[in-house]
């Protein structure tokens, strides 16, 4: 009987009923469009995306769980809705390309002198604090070091940078950190005492002044939504397929972070799986719950809220498959919690070996790094699966649909369907 089921599954995949890569690409393009504003907190980008997913759930034929597709709650978040202007000396800098603002930064406007210090100074505490004291009413500019540091020295430098950013008794007006690393942005639930900017290092002589006009707004109770769809099967035992749909949104009125890989790709895969199961005449011996979580980028807040306010008892969930960063797959997939649920991981790997869906299925241990975390903590068996390969754009303005290969998409889809079939 199991061989017959597997053969039927392969036929369905072959003739296109299972996965639809064009459907997935269209979903990614839509979720990353300027109209979604990066699916964040400026210009209601997240709400626009949530409403879109709810409409898609309805179009696919999913039922409303507890009478509504949307589960609403509020979160605190620091936002950047307006001006995002930085001029270093005579050079105007482009947000997202030349600089980012640390997400807890407050509003600031004006022209300020810069007191430069080298990272080496962080290893001499007396000299370090002396320079901080000399930076009153100025910005501190932290220059990149040309030295190679060990692990302990790097830790000391990071602690020094934290002092500049967060310490209440720092008399400087703010900090400019010059760095050659990729500009990677995040979000904050709080607003701190002074602004910090990360700037790409240049070859020019350091400017004496910086001109800033950065508008911020701390939202104490910003309304957010989880989007929930249900598909009744032949039993009340539930397979939960989840993905967070939110991203970073806008850093100023003109710059947004599309979030193609993180996580329009996982949302698109979840929707494609919902489309697939909604079309089947006969479902496996369980039901399906599809959840697109909000506020993941703010600290897994959407999934935390759901586990505290579930639409159905968590004990009914047979297994959770959480999809996050699913836009490549050229080099296979990584399974978080694989070693926690070894037998299920072995099943996933055995199916992959048998059907040759992916280049590799790599195992990873427990990690609270996506929306599976709160379910795992509440006793729900869960995998978080992400794809490997591709350009590696993450939390930057270059995470766009054009940079996604979707090279392993079809195999990944078929592997998940086969895994669910044999759970």
pLDDT-derived band of residue 16, with 50, 70 and 90 as boundaries?
Answer: very low
Strand order in the sheet with 209-214: 91-93, 84-88, 209-214, 108-118, 139-143, 174-179, 196-200, 99-101
Mean pLDDT of the chain: 93
Q: Kindly report, residue by residue over 198-236, the tens digit of the pLDDT.
A: 999 875 668 999 999 999 999 999 999 999 999 999 998
Element (DSSP H or E) covering residue 7: helix 2-14
Q: Cα–Cα distance between 374 and 155 in angstroms, integer?
A: 30
Residue 214, classed as helix, strand or coil, is strand
| CA nearest neighbour of 178 among 151, 156, 205, 152 | 205
pLDDT-derived band of residue 8, with 50, 70 and 90 as boundaries?
Answer: very low
20 or 275, greater pLDDT: 275
Omega of the bond leading into 325 within 30 degrees of 0 (cis): no
Instruction: Decide if 325 contacts 386 (C-beta within 8 A).
Output: yes
Give the per-residue pLDDT at 397: 97
Give the per-residue pLDDT at 169: 85
* pLDDT higher than threshold 70 for residue 6: no
* pLDDT higher than threshold 80 for residue 52: yes
Show Cβ contacts of residue 130 under 8 Å, excluding neighbours closer than 6 positions: none
Task: Using a pLDDT cut of 70, give the percent of the chain over it.
Answer: 95
Q: Cα–Cα distance between 133 and 129 in angstroms, integer?
A: 6
Give the per-residue pLDDT at 245: 98
110: left (phi over 0), alpha (psi -120 to 50) or beta: left
| CA nearest neighbour of 5 among 333, 269, 279, 355 | 355
Q: Cα–Cα distance between 39 and 293 in angstroms, integer?
A: 12
Give the per-residue pLDDT at 168: 83
Q: Kindly report, residue by residue over 77-130, the tens digit of the pLDDT.
A: 999 999 999 999 999 999 999 999 999 999 999 999 999 999 989 999 999 999
Q: Kindly report, residue by residue over 243-260, the tens digit of the pLDDT.
A: 999 999 999 999 999 999
* pLDDT higher than threshold 70 for residue 5: no
pLDDT-derived band of residue 17, with 50, 70 and 90 as boundaries?
Answer: very low
Q: Cα–Cα distance between 241 and 291 in angstroms, integer?
A: 7
């Amino acid at each position: 009987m199991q061989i017959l089921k597997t053969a039927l599954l392969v036929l369905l995949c072959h003739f296109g009923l299972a996965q639809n890569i064009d459907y997935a690409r269209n979903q990614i393009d839509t979720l990353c469009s300027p109209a979604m504003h990066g699916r964040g907190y400026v210009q209601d980008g997240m709400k626009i995306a949530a409403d879109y997913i709810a409409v898609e759930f309805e179009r696919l034929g999913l039922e409303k769980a507890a009478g509504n597709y949307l589960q609403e709650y509020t979160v605190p978040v620091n936002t950047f809705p307006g001006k995002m202007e930085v001029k270093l000396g005579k050079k105007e800098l482009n947000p997202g390309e030349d600089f980012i603002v640390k997400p807890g930064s407050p509003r600031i406007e004006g022209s300020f002198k810069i007191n430069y210090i080298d990272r080496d100074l962080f290893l001499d505490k007396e000299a370090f604090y002396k320079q901080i004291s000399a930076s009153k009413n100025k910005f501190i500019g932290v220059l990149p070091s040309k030295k190679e540091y060990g692990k302990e020295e790097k830790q000391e430098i990071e602690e020094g940078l934290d002092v500049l950013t967060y310490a209440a008794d720092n008399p400087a007006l703010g900090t400019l950190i010059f760095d050659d690393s990729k500009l990677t942005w995040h979000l904050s639930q709080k607003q701190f005492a002074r602004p910090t900017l990360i700037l790409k290092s240049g070859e020019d002589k350091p400017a004496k002044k910086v001109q800033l006009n950065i508008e911020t707004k701390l939202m104490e109770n910003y309304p957010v939504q989880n989007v929930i769809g249900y598909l009744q099967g032949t039993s009340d035992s539930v397979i939960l397929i989840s993905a967070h749909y939110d991203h970073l949104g806008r850093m100023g009125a003109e710059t947004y972070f599309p979030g193609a890989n993180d996580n329009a790709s996982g949302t698109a895969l979840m929707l494609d799986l919902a489309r697939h199961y909604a079309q089947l005449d006969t479902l496996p011996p369980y039901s399906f719950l599809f959840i697109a979580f909000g506020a993941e980028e703010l600290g897994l807040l959407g999934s935390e809220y759901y586990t505290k306010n579930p639409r159905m008892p968590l004990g009914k969930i047979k297994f959770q498959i959480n999809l996050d960063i699913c836009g490549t797959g050229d080099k296979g997939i990584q399974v978080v919690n694989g070693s926690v649920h070894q037998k299920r991981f072995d099943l996933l790997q055995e199916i992959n070996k048998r059907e040759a869906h992916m280049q590799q299925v790599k195992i990873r241990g427990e990690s609270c790094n996506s929306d599976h975390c709160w379910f795992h903590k509440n006793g729900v068996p869960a995998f978080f699966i992400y794809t490997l390969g591709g350009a590696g754009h993450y939390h930057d303005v270059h995470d766009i649909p054009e940079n996604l290969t979707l090279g392993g998409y079809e195999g990944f889809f078929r592997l998940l369907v086969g895994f669910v079939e044999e759970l």
